[in-house]
């Protein structure tokens, strides 16, 4: 399937409801949105407009063979999350996924259990890669000067440089 469409935060919330309900009409989506928002209801026409925009973007399919119309997500949740994460990493971390992971580990209050789960998944990925794929395991992604003794040290997430100290 092609890359998922760009979604506004409101559209993304509707998609989360559709992934949860699998298929729904406007009233179903509206009720679930209210439940997720501590009872705060959106106007029926607002939800209908959001679903219409999602349909125009190809993010949802519409079954018009019955009334009320039924809406279903056209993209799997995992695909949309993957695309959104890739965009976030590109925009915020200049494409360096390791910087995101380091920032999470350093700045967030992760529990010991969460840290162990991250460690387990990293170990699994390393085992999948095998010894031949890990030849440059010590290299920092994006650090083309790793072997240059005169190069400045690689910056890590959270480092403050002169340009950041303003």
> How remote is the C-alpha of 129 from its chain's centroid?
24
Q: What is the DSSP letter of 42?
A: P
Residue 14 in contact with residue 54, Cβ under 8 Å?
yes
Question: Hey, which of 22-31, 100-109, 133-142 has the most confident mean pLDDT?
Answer: 22-31
Average pLDDT over residues 21-40: 98
- Please give the helix or strand (H or E) that residue 86 lies within, else none: helix 77-92
Cα angle 30, 33, 36; round to 5: 150
Average pLDDT, the chain: 85
Proportion of the chain above pLDDT 90, given as a percent: 70
Does residue 143 carry a pLDDT above 70? no
| Per-residue confidence (pLDDT) for residue 108, from 0 to 100 | 75
Q: Is this prediction's pTM over 0.75?
A: no
């Amino acid at each position: 399937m092609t890359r998922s469409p760009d979604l506004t935060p409101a559209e993304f919330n509707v998609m989360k409801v559709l992934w949860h309900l699998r298929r729904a009409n406007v009233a179903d989506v509206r009720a679930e949105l209210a439940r997720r928002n501590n009872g705060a209801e959106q106007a029926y026409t607002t939800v209908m407009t959001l679903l219409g925009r999602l349909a125009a973007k190809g993010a949802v399919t519409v079954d018009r063979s019955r009334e009320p119309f039924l809406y279903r997500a056209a993209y799997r949740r995992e695909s949309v999350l993957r695309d959104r994460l890739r965009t976030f990493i590109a925009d915020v971390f200049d494409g360096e996924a390791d910087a995101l992971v380091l920032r999470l580990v350093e700045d967030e209050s992760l529990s010991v259990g969460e840290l162990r789960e991250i460690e387990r998944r990293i170990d699994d990925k390393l085992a999948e890669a095998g010894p031949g794929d890990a030849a440059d395991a010590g290299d920092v992604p994006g650090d083309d000067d790793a072997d240059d003794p005169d190069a400045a040290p690689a910056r890590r997430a959270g480092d403050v440089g002169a340009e950041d100290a303003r």
